[in-house]
Amino acid sequence: MTLSWVLTRKKEKYAQGKQYYINATKSCNTNFFHTPEERDRAHQMNIIVPVLQTMHKARITWSGLPSLTSSDEDRCLSEFYNLFHCLSRDSRKVDMYIKILKCRIRKTC
């Protein structure tokens, strides 16, 4: 059983409805950063420095470990799905902010 198979199975079983996607999004422990999803808007807001300052001040905690180690397969898979959904969302934001920094450094924005 591979992680890809587990996540695909989880998505097929639980994420068919939009409501589950909304719940997965709400469960991300980085939700309080309130950062725009669009590159142009993030660039206009000069959001990078405030986000970095917030990250240094924040004490981000993740409460999902008990669910990952649970013997209840549905609970465990659900937490994996949420965790990787949040990781995917956050990595897209990091990628966007790196591109903004790159264009500022090169003065091509």
Q: Binding site for Zn(2+), residues?
A: 95
As a whole number of angstroms, the distance between CA 24 and CA 15 comes to: 9
Residue linked to tokens 């807001």? 45
Binding residues: 95
**CA distances for 83 relative to 46, 64, 98, angstroms:** 28, 8, 22
Name, in order, each residue with C-beta under 8 angstroms of 11's C-beta and a sequence gap of 6 or more.
81
**Paired tokens of 11:** 């998505």
Between CA 68 and CA 58 the distance in angstroms is 24
